[in-house]
Structure 1
Amino acid sequence: MNRYFVRRLLATIPLMFIISIFVFMFIHLIPGDPAKTLAGVEASVEEVEAIREEFGLNKPILVQYVDYMKNLFHGDMGRSLKSNLPVTEMIASRMHYTLRLVVAGMIWAPFLGIFIGVLCAIFRGKFFDHFGMLFAITGLSAPGFWLGLMGIELFSVRLGLLPTTGLDTWKGYILPSLVMGTGIMAVLARYSRSSMLETLREDYVRTARAKGQKEFWVMFSHAFRNSLIQIVTIIGLQIGGLLSGSVITENIFSIPGLGRLLVDSIGYRDYPVIQGLLMIFALQYVLINLIVDMLYGVINPKIRYD
């Protein structure tokens, strides 16, 4: 298992290299000239060219990419074109807001989603199954921005119960966590149900019942435990989605996290910040998938890593 982990960890290096190429080329396809944006509409041609030369924007794209990768290997993501601050410092100063949002969404969403999915599988075809799946499909279909705006309208404007911006108090986490967690709750409810139904059809479940084991023990010791592999996979993917999907939530509730920084940076054509954020999002996806693979062996000791 240790050798497998090391091999997978080393495999992330060429993968991140390929991702960096796509990210860098994608950024430079964004319409607009960052030098003109920084200089202003009344800037002269000489001023715009001076900005290009200062930040190396007048170099060929290939040369810019090589320079960027050299600095990246030394832990330097460059400096912001707008604020001239180091990109690593900007990301580090805002990351805790996004992480707090993700934790707030993950506190309740996975547990509620798995709970609903498992109960729907147990009571398949009955009222709770239909109601639970209707609830899940509704949560999956509702756009995040709509949930956020409706939550603000109901709980903040009309009832005055919850704040509309920031994370200053525990109440400030409620609406953003609902927006962040509703989608993952709905996805996990559906996948938990289908995974449990598939597991309940296995021979070892029928054997356990034939041996006279109690239904509760059959459900949660045999069926639920063996269905966890698929559920953990979905949870891992959803965590990655929460980190990169915080853009909508942070902009609705004016939270200065990574998502808000990404939107602001795109508006200013701040190439180094956009590149740094996209690389961070890609890296966390890769690492989360690696952690999920490691958890397979914990859930099912029969799994062997070759």
Structure 2
Amino acid sequence: MFRYIANRILLFIPVLLGVVVIIFTLMYVTPGDPAMAILGDNATPEQLAALHKSLGLDDPYIIRLGRFFFNLLQGDFGISYRSGRPVLEEILSRYPNTLILAFSSVAFGVVVGVAAGIISAVKQYSFLDKICTVVSLLGVSAPSFWIAMVLVVIFSVELRWLPATGNSSFKYWILPVFTLGLQASASIMRMTRSSMLEVIRQDYIRTSRAKGQTELLTIMRHAFRNALVPIITVIGIQICGFLAGAVLVETVFAIPGVGKFIVDSVNFKDYAVVQGAVFWIGLNCVLINLCVDVVYCFVDPRIKGQYSRTKAKKPRCLPDQEAAND
């Protein structure tokens, strides 16, 4: 198991290097002048040239890439062109909101999606299975901003039960968490159902039932445990997606998160913020994938067997064979 984890940690390094190069290259080839966005359209050529020199925008690609990478190693994500504050400080001030939204939504999706997926698989083609399938198709197909606006119209405008925007207390998080949680539960439910359907048809499930074990024990101990690997994969993908792609929900509900911060910085051409924030999200996604790989060790016994260091013992020679060898 330790060899498996060590291999995954070693793969962590080239992935991060690739993320750094891709992020910087995309921002380097993106049209637009940050100096113009900072100084405005009335700036003189001399002012633009002086700002280019101070920001290092006239340096070659390799020099700017090396400077960006060296600063990241020191924990320096740069300075925001718009606010003049360190980028990492700006990100960390908004990061808790994104974490609350992402993990709360995924937790809601896991509880609802796993339960609905197990019920749909065990009661295949039943009325409950059809209802769960229809709801999951709605959650997968409907855009998040459309679900968010429908919920705002119903629960905030018409019923006036919940606030439409803000994040100052628990009730402000109900609508955004439910919006993303519906999408997460739909994906998790579909994967749980398909994975469980493959497992419950196996011979060891029939053997467990023939031994007299209860249906609940058979489903949870044998079927669900062996169906966990693809479910864990989907959960990790959902967390990464919500950390990087909750922009629309954050915008609709006016939540000051990292995703909305990136969009606002792109509109302002604040390249330092975009580079630093996208790298921060990429770092989080790589760490989450690493955690998912580690969880595999405790769920899938085949990984332990593949990376075990036990060596096969050399067979001992029989006395006649030893005499023949002599």
- Above 0.5 in TM-score? yes
Distance 1:74 1:140 in 2: 41
- Output the TM-score relative to the length of structure 2: 0.90
Q: Over aligned residues, Cα RMSD in angstroms?
A: 1.3
Aligned-partner residue type, residue 182 of structure 1: L
Residue by residue, what CA displacement relative to the aligned partner does 1:248-291 show, whole Å, maximum 9, x if unpaired?
Answer: 11111111110111011101111111111111111122111111
- Give the structure 2 partner of residue 170 of structure 1: 170
Tell me the residue number matched to 2:256: 256
Aligned to 1:183: 183
Report which of the two structures shows the higher radius of gyration computed on alpha carbons.
Answer: 2
What does 1:119-134 align with in structure 2 at a 5 Å threshold? 119-134=119-134
Aligned to 2:202: 202
Measure the CA separation in 1 of the matches of 2:218 and 2:6.
37
Asked if structure 1 preserves the Cα contact closer than 8 Å seen for 2:23 and 2:279, the reply is: yes
Q: Distance in 2 between matches of 1:185 and 1:111?
A: 8
Q: Quick check: 184-193 or 248-257, which moved more?
A: 248-257
What are the Cα deviations for residues 186-228 of structure 1, in whole angstroms up to 9, with x where unaligned? 0011000000000011121121122232222211111111111
Aligned residue identity for 1:79: I
Structure-2 residue corresponding to 1:58: 58
- Give the count of matched residue pairs: 306
Structure 1 regions of 5+ residues with no counterpart? none
Partners of 2:92 and 2:167 in 1: CA distance: 17
Q: Are 2:239 and 1:239 aligned?
A: yes
CA contact (8 A) 2:136 2:187 kept: yes
Partners of 1:26 and 1:179 lie apart in 2 by 31
Aligned partner of 1:212 in structure 2 is: 212
Shift of 1:28: 2.1
Match of 2:117 in 1: 117
1:43-66 residue CA offsets vs partner (Å, 9 max, x unmatched): 111111222111111112221111
Residue 70 (structure 2) aligns with: 70
Does 211-220 or 286-295 show the bigger shift? 211-220
Matches within 5 A, 1:85-100: 85-100=85-100
C-alpha distance in structure 1 between counterparts of 2:25 and 2:205, whole Å: 52
Query: Hey, what's the Cα distance between the residues in 2 that align with 1:202 and 1:74?
Result: 53
Q: Which runs of 4+ in 1 moved over 4 A?
A: none
Equivalent-residue separation in structure 2 for 1:5 and 1:141 (angstroms): 36
The whole-number CA distance in structure 1 between the counterparts of 2:130 and 2:237 is: 26
Shift of 1:299: 2.1
Stretch moving more, 19-28 or 208-217: 208-217
Q: Secondary structure at the match of 1:21?
A: helix
Contact conserved, 1:104 with 1:173, CA < 8 A, in 2?
Answer: no
State the one-letter code of the partner of 1:57: L
1:49-97 alpha-carbon deviations (Å, 9 max, x no partner)? 2221111111122211111111111111111111121111111111111
The code of the aligned residue for 2:165 comes to: T
Do the aligned residues in 2 keep the contact of 1:98 with 1:257 (CA within 8 Å)? yes
The Cα shift of 1:301 comes to 3.8
Seq. identity, %:
39
Q: Which amino acid aligns with 1:119?
A: I
Distance 1:126 1:7 in 2: 45
Q: CA deviation at 1:115?
A: 0.6
The SS at the match of 2:139 is helix
Name the SS for the 1:57 alignment partner: coil
